[in-house]
Structure 1
Amino acid sequence: MNKSFILLFVIIITSTFLLTGCWNYNEVEKLAIVSGVAIDKNEKDNKFELTAEVIDLKSTQVGGRFNSQRIQSDGDTILDAIRNMIKISAKKLYWSHATTFILSENVAKEGILPVLDFIARDKEPRLSINIFVSKEKTAAELLSQQSISTEIRSFEMDYMLLANDSLSKVPEVQVYEFMNDLSNQGISPVLPTLEITLNEGKRTAELGGTAVFKKDKLAGFLTLEDTKFLLFVKDKIKGGLLIVNDKEGESPHVVTLEIFKNKTKIIPNYSNGQLSIDIRTRTDVSIAEEDTTKNYIDEKGRAELRKKAEKYLERNIERVIKQAQQEFDSDIFGFGNTIMRKRPDLWKEIGKQWGSIFPELKINVDADIHIKSSGHILKPIQVGD
């Protein structure tokens, strides 16, 4: 064996023994490890009110489980409120493990820039932190609800977003993505929302849909269901369901389609001074559930169901786009950004007028749905006389 290699191996092994141990135990004891924070505004003096969820290290030493505690303070700025927590905790807050920032509706309406500035400027918070907007009266109350999967509320909210691939009803937006959309032309940012629900009679947090922004200020909300159609336009559908409610005929019924794959293309068209956007979706689904004996499995039935599902998707995409145009006046779909990338010459001509063009923009939606299977059932369940 090469002597140089042996020498290197000995050095590595020796260093391993010399450098291990509880060398940083005291440092950890001096820190309050933050898992998440809620940011509110005091109506009396307009100060920031912060509620930090801190991991309780003593609970892990005693019972072997992670628990959390909450620390509250206020300040003229976010950093001022954070530093004031030292008066309560006697420890400096450590932000490198924080996963969640929750903003109250009031904070989001006034503008999110102070929050972004703290996260981007400080060396500890990661740019992959998730930011939520609270649909409750305050952001702090979301950190005091019962947890279902873990005692650390902020971590549970992070897990909710990770599980959203099978739901596709909230946008998954991390800090750096929000900042990119905020700084780019022709696109407005969005954030996921949180609200309180009852589970077995106890209050707990749940995903609530989408917070729509115009520049850095909150403009309004989309529901969970409407968010799905926003994600179709943005080509961010990873799964979820399409529920086709057929109200026509003598026996109204519902068919549930499970989404396996989707691809959306946005194509800007400009002719004779008229601008329009073509949205083309291609979606692979299967029949997951139905409450009818009508045969949607054979070739004829499948073609009929496909047509109904395509109309359902087209109609709802158009509806959500119109809502963004008329109610929010906010291009959350990035149509302007698409024009800037695909037709920079055109964007140079119309970019400065985009704020007045977007609300009147003509949209054409073409959905193409392919029904791949019907599960284990080869024909609908029949009910005897």
Structure 2
Amino acid sequence: MKGIKYSILIIIIIANSILCTSCWNYREINDLSVIFGLGIDKKDGLYEFTGKILLTANEENEGNNLSQTFISSQGLTIFDAIRNLVLQDGKRVYFGHLAFIIISEDIAKENINEVLDLFMRDDETREDMWMFVAPEPYSSKEILEIGLDHQELATYVNDTMINMKHVGKSYPIRLYEFINISSSKGKDGVVPLIFIKKTLLGESAYIIGNAVFNGNQMVGKINGDECKTLCVILNEQKGGILPVTYNDEAETTTVSLEIGKTKTKLNPVFTDDNITIKISTQTTAVIAEIMNNNVNVLDKEGKDKLIEAAENMVENNIKDLVKKAQAELNSDIFGFGQLIKKDNPSLWKQIEDDWSNIFQDIDIEVNSVVEISGSALYEKIIK
């Protein structure tokens, strides 16, 4: 009996060693165009596909391991445009290393999910790629081609998105996150904006602000400071600077508070004819910079005035952004609908189909608390 078991085991080992020595869909890298940055525009009714690809060493590029170039094509659909690339260099595009995608504003305003559908279905693409919108008058093609003069665009994009939590002036999002949001009711998505900006090193890509969506369609934008407030409401603020300016008798005081952490709680309150969202924030910070040395913000009286001004500023920023989302954008980027669904499922079933209209009349109550724990390493006013 043992002999039969050993024989079967040996057969299995030999079979696995033969069958598992290579990938079933293995392809030489020289047969592929490896793309790692992608821009999609629309021109004369056709989708224009622009990609930044890696080239392997060849006879013309001997001595270099890798080089980069751009490819571009058009088609009635995204897949059609991609396949048309074969007509240019005879190779298929490989999406396994695609790190980010830039979509023009006109496409985003039509239906952004029509463009994203292919990348969610294709088994080669990464669902964790970063998403961006190129606002008018820029096209995704020119942003991709200009990129950065001083570093690789893909590196800049990834580093900026990962470290954006320390700035908060854009809300990062990956492909799968946006698809999940846009495919469900009760919350609308945002996508970072990517511009072209002149710097000392030349024209470069620049990420700030967010495109705002209602379902699949872009309905407007929020700027960098509004993005910081959005991070506060979503309980995603991990740091950043809060510049506080206020009048103290005859003096105008400007102080930079370095935020340690902000905790935000959203609590829905239901009455017979209304829904109110109570927003409570608690921020810890240190005094990082004092612009006016004639005002003492380090003693108790000065610190109390600074705290009051900071709390008023946070509360007003939240109220202003919610008002803009309701009256101007009609976009629930805060997830108030999902909050109601979780807290009161029976009510949500009654209102979910009309949530877009109901959201515009939701009341909010804001209470912000700011705690200043110190003044960094220096505890005096510089005279």
Q: Give the C-alpha shift of residue 29 in structure 1.
A: 1.3
Task: Give the SS at the match of 1:302.
Answer: helix
Which string of whole-angstrom CA distances, capped at 9 and with x for unpartnered residues, describes residues 108-137 of structure 1? 011112222111110011110111000243
Q: CA deviation at 1:303?
A: 2.0
1:379 is aligned to 2:380? yes
Correspondence for 1:358: 359
Q: Distance in 2 between matches of 1:166 and 1:61?
A: 43
Q: Deviations over 1:144-176 (max 9, x none)?
A: 22525533x234222221121211111111111
> In 1, distance between residues paired with 2:304 and 2:56?
59
Q: Which amino acid aligns with 1:69?
A: T
Q: Which residue of 2 aligns with 1:157?
A: 157
Conserved? CA contact 1:149–1:156, under 8 Å? no
Q: Encode CA deviations 1:180-205: one digit per residue, 9 max, x unaligned.
A: 11122111111111001111161100
Letter in 1 for 2:95: W
Taking structure 2 as the reference length, what is the TM-score of the superposition? 0.89
The superposition leaves residues 329-368 of structure 1 with CA deviations (integer Å, 9 ceiling, x where unpaired) of 1111110111101221221233233222111111111111
Per the alignment, residue 129 of structure 2 pairs with 129
Offset at 1:63? 4.4
Q: Is the 8 A contact 2:148 2:203 kept in 1?
A: no
What is the match of residue 32 of structure 1?
33
Question: Structure 1: where are the runs of 5+ without partners?
Answer: 1-10
Corresponding position of 1:56: 55
SS of match in other structure, 1:34: strand
Judge conservation of contact 2:35–2:54 (CA < 8 Å) in 1: yes
Answer whether contact 1:258 1:287 (CA < 8 A) is retained.
Answer: yes
Q: TM-score, normalised by structure 1?
A: 0.88
Please state how far the C-alpha of 1:83 moved relative to its aligned partner: 0.7
| Conservation of the 8 A alpha-carbon contact between 2:229 and 2:318 | yes
**Which amino acid letter does the alignment assign opposite residue 53 of structure 2?**
V
In 2: Cα distance, 1:195 partner to 1:260 partner:
29
How far off its partner does 1:62 sit?
Answer: 3.0
What corresponds to 2:148 in structure 1?
147
- Counterpart CA distance in 2 for 1:306 and 1:325 is 29
Given that 1:35 and 1:155 are in contact with CA atoms closer than 8 Å, whether structure 2 keeps it comes out as no
The residue identity in structure 1 corresponding to 2:56 is L
Task: Write the mapping of 1:1-385 to structure 2, written as runs, cut at 5 A.
Answer: 27-42=28-43, 44=44, 46-58=45-57, 62-63=63-64, 67-135=67-135, 136-147=137-148, 150-151=151-152, 153-200=153-200, 202-247=202-247, 249-293=249-293, 294-382=295-383
CA distance in 2, matches of 1:146, 1:49: 18
Matched residues, number: 363
Contact 1:280 1:366 in 2 (8 A): yes
Check conservation: 1:279, 1:364, Cα contact below 8 A. Answer: yes
- Label 1:115 to 1:376 Cα distance change in 2 as closer, same or farther (>3 A): same
The question of whether the paired residues in 2 share the 8 Å contact of 1:168 and 1:237 is answered with yes
User: Post-superposition shift, 1:99?
Assistant: 0.8
In 2, are the aligned partners of 1:38 and 1:139 still within 8 Å (CA)? yes
Aligned equivalents of 2:225, 2:265: Cα separation in 1: 21
1:4 aligned residue: none
SS at match of 1:147: coil
Please, which runs of 5 or more residues in structure 2 have no aligned partner? 1-12
Which AA in structure 1 matches 2:361?
A: E
Give the whole-Å Cα distance in 2 for the aligned partners of 1:224 and 1:190.
13
3-state SS of 1:381 partner: coil
8 Å contact 1:100–1:155 — kept in the other structure?
A: no
Distance of aligned partners of 1:216 and 1:166 in 2 relative to their CA distance in 1, 3 Å threshold: same
Instruction: Give per-residue Cα distances to partners, 1:206-258, cap 9 Å, x unaligned.
Output: 01210000110110111111111111111111211111112453221311111
Partners in 2 of 1:368 and 1:87 — Cα distance?
61
In 1, the alpha carbon distance for the partners of 2:236 and 2:382 equals 34
